[in-house]
Structure 1
Amino acid sequence: MKLDKITNEASAPRERRYDDACGTALALEFVGERWSLLIMRELVFGARRFGEIRANLPGISANVLTQRLESLEDAGIVQRYRLPSPANVQVYDLTEWGREAGPLMRDLGRWAARSPRHDRSLFMSAASAMMSLQALIDRKRAAELPVSVAFHFPGEDFGATVTGGEILVSRGAIEASNLAFTGDTMAMRRTIYGKAPLAKDGAGGTLAFVGEADLARSFVDLFYLPAKIS
């Protein structure tokens, strides 16, 4: 009888130590396990329920997600708490220190996007799409275009404000905006990074939009993909 060796990724976490004083080595001890950084990405813009995190990480099991959340919580990166009534549900969020990793994740994503292996056709969560805007904005152009934009993805809304050459992103609907885009993250990539022709009704699989067409085009032109390495 052949015995199969079973590897359980969700078993007790293995202590990962590099015996290296470099802060990068310590960072890898915290977030070097598979899925850890992506979990943090999903929490960058605010608290999420367990099911919401898992839905935006295709391929992760409930057991592995539980383990990674516990490890990040033990490290002081993630916290969990219960929302007040009427929601009354447990959510996970980044701690203040954990949220400081947001710019690092954006810079890492921009760096990796230069690889020829970067495949824009793969799944992308709404949080990842909004983080890409922060990573790939042309800061010089953005300094000349103050604008407030609403993004309506399936089941999830975001607000984005361009000011002082930066784009500030928050989860949730915003009361007033100069522009509003509606569609999924693939439509967002076609519109913003593929520079597909704008259509108010989202024709051609692009984002539908409400607002002035010239302003919408100016906003789209704030973002670009970095050149690939040769």
Structure 2
Amino acid sequence: MAAREYGQYDGVARALELVGERWALLIVRDLLVGPRRYGELAAGLPRIPSNILAARLKELQAAGVLRRAPRSRVVVYELTPYGRELEPLVLGLGAWGVKALGDPREDQIVTPDAMTISLRTAFRPQVAAELPATAYAARLGAAELLIRVDGPTLDVTGGSGPVDLAFTAGPGIHRLMTGELAPERAIATGVVEVLRGRGDLLDRFADTFHLAA
């Protein structure tokens, strides 16, 4: 049970008691992508102190939001069905937060899990349904996401594979996804670097994934 209590009999207050402590929702965000080992969670949240990560995992487990599960002789953390109910709330919070995101600072990073959730947040299935199936590879540091769009269906995984467009980007990719930066300008300024494939498909990417700023 989370240490903070608000002394109010209210659903919002209770929700904040369970997942409102610092780092808690970012842990949930990463677990919405998939089960993670302790070390993977720590790597995805490089600034979280180890004692805080351990405490949040314990609190979220006690709240029934996540559970420990054995997988191939290792223990992973995964969301419970109750915890997965937070997905639309996390996506909505991300869409709301991007309005105040501003320009990225030099010390800010984009992690694969954070980018996966951003893509889910920004995905416009009604637009994608009218476009040809397209596969993208987005390289973020040493990690690469394989993004497959087929009609109104989005699939984001790690790794590599055949794609129509491969590009590398940093935190500034959010400016492309909000429409603040046109695709051709994103390429010209180095915010996005095309690695292979048709560079004009970045326009399709920007149409398919849009965050309202």
User: TM over 0.5: same fold?
Assistant: yes
User: So what's the TM-score if we normalise by structure 2?
Assistant: 0.79
Q: How does 1:60-209 map to 2 (within 5 A)?
A: 60-84=48-72, 88-115=73-100, 118-122=101-105, 123=108, 124-145=110-131, 146-169=133-156, 171-173=157-159, 175-181=161-167, 183-186=168-171, 188-189=173-174, 192-193=177-178, 194-197=181-184, 204-209=190-195
Q: Whose helix fraction is larger, Structure 1's or Structure 2's? A: 2
Aligned amino acid, residue 204 of structure 1:
G
Q: CA RMSD in A?
A: 2.9
Identity percentage of aligned residues = 33
Structure 2: distance between partners of 1:225 and 1:21: 31
Distance (Å, rounded) in 2 between the aligned partners of 1:32 and 1:147? 37
Task: Note if contact 2:44-2:111 (Cα within 8 Å) is conserved in structure 1.
Answer: yes
Map of 1:7 onto structure 2? none
Radius of gyration: which is bigger?
1
Give distance in 2, aligned partners of 1:76 and 1:156. 31
> TM-score of the superposition, structure 1-length normalised?
0.74
Structure 2 runs not aligned, ≥5 long? none
Q: The residue matched to 1:207 in structure 2 has which SS?
A: strand
Gaps of 5+ in 1: 1-11
Instruction: Indicate conservation of the 8 Å contact 1:82/1:91, yes or no.
Output: yes
**1:92-130 CA distances to partner (integer Å, 9 max, x unpaired)?**
222233223222101111112223xx2340423221122
Say how many residue pairs are matched. Answer: 206
Structure richer in strand, relative to its length? 2
Distance 1:99 1:31 in 2: 13
